[in-house]
Amino acid sequence: MESRTETHCPYCAFQCGMTLVREETADGPRLTVHSRDFPTNRGGLCRKGWTAADLLTSPERLTTPLMRDRKDGPLRPVLWDAALDRIAGTIRATQEAHGPAAVGVFGGGGMTNEKSYALGKFARVGLGTPNIDYNGRFCMASAAAAGIKAFGLDRGLPFPLEDIEKADVILLVGGNPAESLPVMMQYFEEQKRRGGRLIVVDPRLTPTAALASLHLQITPGTDGALGNGLLNVLIQQGHLDLDYIARRTTGFDEVRRTVAAYWPDRVERITGIPATRITEAARMLGTAKSVMILTARGPEQQSSGVDNTLSFINLALALGQVGKPHGGFGTLTGQGNGQGGREHGQKADQLPGYRKLDNPEHRAHAAAIWGVEESSLPMPGLSACELLAALGRADPELPSIRVLLVMASNIAVSAPDVSRVQRGLRALDLLVVSDIFLSETAAMADIVLPISQWAEEEGTMTNMEGRVQLRRRATCQPDGVRTDLQVIKAIADRLGRGAYFSDDPRAVFEELRRASAGGVADYAGITWERVATEDGVFWPCPDTGHAGTPRLFAESFPTPNGKARFNPVNHRASAEEPDQFYPLYLTTGRVLSQYQSGAQTRRVAALTDAEPGAFVEIHPGMARNHGIRNGDRVRLVTRRGDATLTARLVTTIRMDTVFVPFHWGGEGCANLLTNPALDPVSRIPEFKVCAVRVERA
Ligand code: SF4
């Protein structure tokens, strides 16, 4: 017997449609992935998607709760009731002794909309703690903050994907979709086939940059200067859309004055990009009919991430492109539900529908939906890195987290300056981790809860276009495993708050729709049935008769006066620049065959065969100076620690820069090295640049 289910890939924000086939065989069920002609991926899948069924049958799957009786004791299997009773008992005792804020929650951008919503509500209503944040703070926070400042709204792509292939010129800053969103490349390839041009800004000649008409090989940490420099040249060349600026924006004059200081020779000195190339890029942008500017984690994961992003938004506004077909500004989301995961309340400062936790009207709306007093809702709490810095903290003058619940996140690998985070995790009174595998974080936990995964449960996900789509259940979960929603409800039950929570995803989605109604990310008109039958629906969608909104900003912006805002920004040096002790730049990123912290993909044989372990890319010229050959083991040292990796000599990277992918833990973990310096607005850490020294191991 065979069953076929149309569902979506468990990995990246492209959320490719796929068909999962389940066949009953004498050896048990056999699951295989098949192509599906969904509107976004058009039948395409990358090797991660093709091998995704291996996650469902992995022998490493957790199927029973595990518990440690003492900090230095082993994890042992226990019954669910024993695990849940201890969790609830410890939460109660901790909050009685130290207050509600001593319990923290850390979520993930891969969770469905329903789980993201339920986890945010659980923190505020179930636990009464302000301290919830999630790993999206590590990736999308700068783009989100910049989008809200400029447009009054944050949606990764405020236009449909098809616009990409129709743009005359695309400026892609600090993104490598050929490896991070491989199926998306069909849009860039089609744009090129139609005669369009692509400009890529990246310290590395990545597979994406290799497709470009122009590659600007930027010095890490200088993106904001480039954005200002391009606008300077466009102003000098008279390539602005002055009518658009006057009608649809405010604040241009101050930006004009600011970028006057970014003439090409000066920007060359800051960015390392020849002035002639900056001028050439500006000419391409200024003479095109339609221009699309896309940023990704390169400029965003910096201590000036918001300002960097705003410098490119200023460009798109000055060219009069935002809101027009085939042009505008967008940002490439990374995690599976990177978009929906940041809309419904698992951020430290946020309520569902993109409402704000410190806005009295927004609080009253959420409180009414949840059936609680507005005054009972906590105010915004610690952002992700600040929450992790507070783990087990002894200083009574500063916030301290003593119990931490982690869902869908592997912070023992993915957080910056990860040694410090690991020390904090060890210092907790109780660490609870829900996961499908014994990830590095789960292995440190006092209690591990085995949960169901993508094709074993149903839920909605929102892709980078703002398209809400349905991930269907295609197979059963193993005995002994529960869903995240069941875990949340079970803990809430034991805390006497169970009446506020449901473990049925459809019921949670119905509540989410009501909670988001009237908000920026309005899902009120998006029913479960519509999502299932319409290949997804774009938010905002205020009522069931509304078609959804693939293209935003066509007529006005959701700001008080309906206009977009220019924001003057200046280049700020990275928090840590190379010096005589640490003479090179370190930057981090992704490879094709792994995903995020690797907790899932490192357990898929075909992916591990393709990319078996951590490495560092070094330019041969730099390697020669250090006596390093291809394949040598080398040690990278920063002010936070050191990592040992295999050298990969490539001419595609700047001489002054080394690159380490972040998908591995252990001695090759990139985040042993990275700098937790934060952007002052978005609180994103500076993953993309710090100072490093290279030594032979
Ligand atoms: Fe999955 Fe992303 Fe690959 Fe599509 S591009 S198959 S969503 S990992």
CATH homologous superfamily for the domain 2-55: ADC-like domains (2.20.25.90)
Q: To the nearest whole number, what is the mean pLDDT of the chain?
A: 97
Answer yes or no: CATH 3.50.50.60 is held by domain 584-696.
no
Number of H helices, E strands in the chain: 24, 30
Just give the CATH number of 141-332.
3.40.228.10
Choose which residue among 181, 335, 461 to substitute to test ligand 1 binding: the one with the highest number of ligand atoms within 8 A of its C-beta. Answer: 181
- Cα 66 to Cα 569: distance, rounded to the nearest angstrom: 50
Indicate if ligand 1 lies below 6 Å from the C-beta of 33. Answer: no
What does the pLDDT look like over 638-687, one tens digit per residue? 999 999 999 999 999 999 999 999 999 999 999 999 999 999 999 999 99
What is the per-residue DSSP string for 497-516?
-GGG----HHHHHHHHHHHH
Q: Quick count: other Cβ atoms within 10 Å of Cβ 479?
A: 7
Question: What DSSP element (H or E) covers 454?
Answer: none
Read off the pLDDT of each residue in 621-638 and give the average, rounded to a whole number: 97
Identify the CA nearest to 116 among candidates 662, 663, 515.
515
- Cα 371 to Cα 368: distance, rounded to the nearest angstrom: 5
For the ranges 1-5, 39-43, 597-601, the lowest mean pLDDT is seen at 1-5
Choose which residue among 7, 12, 37, 663 to substitute to test ligand 1 binding: the one with the highest number of ligand atoms within 8 A of its C-beta. Answer: 12
Read off the pLDDT of each residue in 360-364 and give the average, rounded to a whole number: 98
pLDDT of residue 27: 85
Indicate if ligand 1 lies below 6 Å from the C-beta of 12. Answer: yes
Is a pLDDT exceeding 90 seen at residue 127?
yes
- State the architecture of 66-139+337-454+482-507 in CATH terms: 3-Layer(aba) Sandwich (3.40)
Atom 1 (ligand 1) nearest CA: 49
Identify the band that residue 405 occupies on the pLDDT scale cut at 50, 70 and 90: very high
Q: What are the domain boundaries of the chain?
A: 2-55, 66-139+337-454+482-507, 141-332, 584-696
Q: Residue 229 burial by CB count (10 A; 0-12/13-18/19+): exposed, middle or buried? A: buried
Is a pLDDT exceeding 90 seen at residue 47?
yes
Is a pLDDT exceeding 90 seen at residue 199?
yes
Please give the share of the chain, as a percent, with pLDDT higher than 70: 100
Identify the band that residue 29 occupies on the pLDDT scale cut at 50, 70 and 90: confident
pLDDT of residue 501: 98
- Say how many Å lie between the CA of residue 553 and the centre of ligand 1: 28
Amino acid at 517: A
Read off the pLDDT of each residue in 397-408 and give the average, rounded to a whole number: 97
Indicate if ligand 1 lies below 6 Å from the C-beta of 177. Answer: no
pLDDT of residue 340: 87
Strand bridging mode 169-173 / 132-134: unpaired
Residue located via tokens 């519509």: 530
**Interface ipTM:** 1.00
pLDDT of residue 341: 87
Read off the pLDDT of each residue in 182-208 and give the average, rounded to a whole number: 98
Q: What is the pTM of this model?
A: 0.97
- Cα 608 to Cα 593: distance, rounded to the nearest angstrom: 7
Atom 4 (ligand 1) nearest CA: 16
Cβ-contact 453, 436 below 8 angstroms = yes
pLDDT of residue 334: 87
Question: What DSSP element (H or E) covers 395?
Answer: none
Bin 635: left if φ > 0, else alpha if -120 < ψ < 50, else beta.
Answer: beta
Token pair listed for 299: 């400029």
Cβ-contact 568, 251 below 8 angstroms = yes
What does the pLDDT look like over 441-467, one tens digit per residue? 999 999 999 999 999 999 999 999 999
- Cα 273 to Cα 279: distance, rounded to the nearest angstrom: 10
Identify the band that residue 1 occupies on the pLDDT scale cut at 50, 70 and 90: confident
pLDDT of residue 611: 96
Can 66-139+337-454+482-507 and 584-696 be said to share one CATH topology? no
210's CB contacts (< 8 A; 6+ apart) are none
Identify the band that residue 3 occupies on the pLDDT scale cut at 50, 70 and 90: very high
Atom of ligand 1 nearest to the CA of 184: 5
630's CB contacts (< 8 A; 6+ apart) are 623, 647, 648, 649
